[in-house]
Chain A
Amino acid sequence: MFRHNQACLSVENLSVNINTQDGIVHPVKDVSFAIGQGRVLGLVGESGSGKSLTAKAILRLLTQNKNIEYNGRVIFEGQDLFKLSPASMRSLRGRRLGMVFQDPLAALNPVLTIGRQLRELFTAHTGCSGGEADKQSFAVLKKVGLLNQERICRQYPHQLSGGMRQRVCIALAIALKPSLIIADEPTTALDVTLQAQILAELKTLQQDYGAAILLISHDMGVIAELADDVAVMRHGTIVEYNDCFNLFDYPHHEYTKRLLLASSLTELADGARRYNDGPATA
Chain B
Amino acid sequence: MVERAAMTTFWQRFFCHRLGNVGLVFLTICILAAVCAPLLTAFSAVDTNLAAVRQAPTYEHWLGTDELGRDIWSRLVYGARVSLLVGVASVVLSTTIGLGFGVVSGYLGGLADNILMRIVDGLLSLPSLVLVIALQALGNQGLISVVLVIACTTWMQTARLVRTEFLSVKQRPFVKAAAVAGASDWALVFRHTLPNCLASVVVLATLNVGHAIITEAALSFLGMGIPPHQPSWGNMLMGGQRSILAGAWWITMFPGLMIVATVLAVNFVGDAIRDALDPLRFYHGSTPKKTTKAAVTAGNEVN
Residues of A within 8 A of B (CB): 59, 61, 65, 90-95, 97-99, 101, 103, 106-112, 120-121, 124-125, 151, 154-156, 158-159, 169, 172
Contact = CB atoms under 8 A, between A and B. Distances in A.
Contacts of B67: none
Nearest to B171: A63
B180 A59 contact: yes
B6 A93 contact: no
Given A120-B187, A124-B181, 19 more contacts: A90-B183, A90-B184, A91-B182, A92-B182, A94-B182, A94-B183, A99-B180, A101-B176, A106-B173, A108-B177, A109-B174, A110-B196, A112-B195, A120-B181, A124-B184, A156-B5, A156-B279, A158-B279, A172-B181
Closest 7 CB pairs of A and B: A94-B182, A94-B181, A93-B182, A106-B173, A107-B177, A156-B279, A99-B180
A192 to B, nearest CB: 23
Contacts of A106: 172-174
B113 interface: no
Contact of A109 (B6, B178, B184): B178
Contacts of A94: 180-183
A190 B27 CA distance: 48
Which secondary structure dominates where chain B touches chain A? helix
Interface in B143-197: 172-174, 176-184, 187, 191-192, 195-196
A158 B180 contact: no
Contact of B173 (A95, A97, A101): A101
A156 B277 CA distance: 12
Nearest to B182: A94
A61 B188 CA distance: 14
B280 interface: yes
Q: Which of B6, B110, B172, B181 has the most CB of A within 10 A?
A: B181
Given A106-B173, A155-B6, A111 B279 contact: yes
Nearest to A172: B181
B180 A110 contact: no
Interface in B94-145: 110
A110 B191 contact: no
